[in-house]
Amino acid sequence: MKTKRRFKPSYLLMGAGILAVAAIIAFFAFIFYYRSSEQKFRYGLDNAVIYGRVNECIRGEYKGESMALSDFNANSIYKQMLLGHRQFFVSAKKTDEECVTVDFGGGYLLRIWPVDKDNMVYISFQWEGKNAEFIMNDINFAYISRAVSPEGIDNPNRPWEDAG
């Protein structure tokens, strides 16, 4: 007579343990990916600002006006990007007429759109053949658009045509 195999609770505990370990590994992989992509963005932005300042070729565009940005206004935009925090699972509508474009030269291009919520912007940054797109909070779009305006924040900007 054959004995009937019985289910052992230890198999259930072992399966739950394996699942828990897999979840922990996935969590840490996500954190590592998030931090490494954040570091790559900030590294690329650092290089863009340095390149633009050394070559004096930082151009800002907003609502059809193209301005050669002063160092102070370029640094103001840079500081806003460093102070912002990336957001996940937030969708946004983008229109080109509401876009602030900062061209640092050398293939570095930063585009910023306002999001309906306060102090949130949609960022697209291209550098060295890479592209990053995400939403950041704690960034004031009105401040950034003022930095690329003719008046600037504290220092005025020159029209791009006069910058040559």
Which pTM does this prediction carry?
0.75
CA atoms within 13 A on the CB side of 48: 27
**Which has more pLDDT, 81 or 1?**
81
103 domain residue, yes or no: yes
Residues 6+ apart with CB under 8 A from 97: 63
Place of tokens 């930063």: 110
Instruction: Give every CB contact of residue 115 below 8 A, 6+ residues apart in sequence.
Output: 90, 92, 121, 122, 135
5, part of any domain? no
| pLDDT band, very low/low/confident/very high, at 135 (cuts 50, 70, 90) | confident
Residue 14 has pLDDT above 90, yes or no: no
Residue 26, domain member (yes or no): yes
Q: Is residue 99 part of a domain?
A: yes
The residue with greater pLDDT, 41 or 11, is 41
Q: Is residue 104 part of a domain?
A: yes
pLDDT digits (tens, 9 = 90+) for 40-74: 888 889 999 999 999 999 999 998 899 999 999 99
How far is it, in rounded angstroms, from Cα 50 to Cα 24?
39
How does residue 128 score in pLDDT terms, banded at 50, 70 and 90?
confident
pLDDT in tens, 137-164: 888 899 999 999 999 998 999 998 876 5
Answer yes or no: is pLDDT of 37 > 70. yes
Number of folded domains in the chain? Answer: 1
Is 2 a member of any domain? no
CB 141 within 8 A of CB 150: no
In a domain, 63, yes or no: yes
Assigned domain for 47 exists: yes
| pLDDT given for residue 146 in this prediction | 94
pLDDT per position as a tens digit, 73-120: 999 999 998 888 877 656 666 766 789 999 999 999 999 998 876 788
Domain that holds residue 123: 10-162
